[in-house]
Structure 1
Amino acid sequence: MSSCFEVVTLIHAPPELVFDTSLSVELHTASMAASRERAVAGVTSGLLGPGDRVTWRARHFGVPWRMTSLISGYERPAYFMDEQVAGPFRRWRHAHHFVLAPDGEGTVMRDVVDFAAPAGPLGVVAEVLVLRRYLARLILLRNAHLKRITEETAAPPG
């Protein structure tokens, strides 16, 4: 079994800025401060690009974990995909889509996360009861941080 969820965020900044900022290791680390997430191998600072790998170390549910992700799809400024190549999930795919808002005043960012927990039937129970909600909350937290940073950057001075 696998779970999938989607989060849509309107950001008042141009798609190129939102796209690039979404690939910032430092932004990701700052947005996940509560779980002490940090890049420990691969690309550990700056912007991720096509084919880049990064290994994250964090603490979730009181348990330390590591996950190595690969930027497996990249079409600036419209789309990128990160996928787990090593880590706690049976599968983790996170598609990031960026389109100009209908009114032309910003970016509609759509995150589509498809994941499968390990541990067979127990993992399925964890997906349904805990993980899906927990992971969606993490994406919402990350997106709120991204929105704040990019809107501040895109705002005209004064």
Structure 2
Amino acid sequence: MPTLVLDTTVNAPIEIVFDLARSIDLHMYSTGKTNEKAIAGVTSGLIEAGKTVQWRAKHLGVYQTLTVRITKMEKPYFFEDKMIQGVFQSMEHQHLFEEQADGAVLMRDVFNFRAPLGPLGRFAEWSFLTQYMRRFLEERNHIIKLVAESGDYSRYLEG
């Protein structure tokens, strides 16, 4: 099972970074390249523990749906989402937030997934899927960082 660990340093208050990471509206903005839309469950605002969201997006040329549930949350330090329906055999994503001595926030993503289709899925993970998922998460984190550091984040945290 591939595990991706991404660290992003964000110069903004931890509460802001945490809330932007769970903002449905910012997620849709940050994933514009895949036309990702929240179509069921929580479809705007901030997702909370126990809630679900169903996403529809175009990945690798095919529209897919993915439903995740926020299984754990400790504000503003941690939340976890797990796939409950989707194309992966399994998927879980831990979001960790740690205040640094200089006032910045270390945002760490730990993303575990397993492609379906047995050996063919393992080959896909190795040959392209792990890198594809890394780039997807890096782009999302880059947008979170830009929005948080710009100070222009209220539109993603209201409602």
Per the normalisation by structure 2, the TM-score is 0.94
Equivalent runs, 1:136-151 vs 2, <5 Å: 136-151=134-149
Match of 1:68 in 2: 67
Q: 1:53 touches 1:69 (CA, 8 Å); kept in 2?
A: yes
Q: Give the superposed CA RMSD.
A: 1.2
Superposed structure 1 runs of 4+ greater than 4 Å apart: none
* Paired amino acid for 2:38: A
Q: Supply the distance in 2 between the matched residues of 1:22 and 1:52 (Cα, whole angstroms).
A: 15
Match of 1:107 in 2: 105
Is residue 2:2 matched to residue 1:14? no
Per the TM alignment, residue 46 of structure 1 is displaced from its structure 2 partner at its CA by 0.3
Unaligned runs of 5+ in 2: 154-159
SS in 1 for 2:43: coil
Q: 1:21 touches 1:146 (CA, 8 Å); kept in 2?
A: yes
* Paired amino acid for 1:109: M
Match of 1:120 in 2: 118
Per the TM alignment, residue 100 of structure 1 is displaced from its structure 2 partner at its CA by 0.4
Q: Supply the distance in 1 between the matched residues of 2:86 and 2:141 (Cα, whole angstroms).
A: 23
Q: Supply the distance in 1 between the matched residues of 2:95 and 2:110 (Cα, whole angstroms).
A: 7
Equivalent runs, 1:76-95 vs 2, <5 Å: 76-95=75-94
Q: 1:68 touches 1:86 (CA, 8 Å); kept in 2?
A: yes
CA distances 1:8-37 after superposition (whole Å, capped 9, x unpaired)? 000000111100111100100000000000
Per the TM alignment, residue 132 of structure 1 is displaced from its structure 2 partner at its CA by 0.6
Per the TM alignment, residue 102 of structure 1 is displaced from its structure 2 partner at its CA by 3.1
* Paired amino acid for 2:134: A
Q: Supply the distance in 2 between the matched residues of 1:110 and 1:24 (Cα, whole angstroms).
A: 16
Q: Supply the distance in 2 between the matched residues of 1:6 and 1:64 (Cα, whole angstroms).
A: 26
Match of 1:23 in 2: 22
SS in 1 for 2:110: strand
What number of residue pairs does the alignment pair up?
Answer: 153
Per the TM alignment, residue 152 of structure 1 is displaced from its structure 2 partner at its CA by 1.2
Q: Supply the distance in 2 between the matched residues of 1:84 and 1:54 (Cα, whole angstroms).
A: 10
* Paired amino acid for 1:127: E
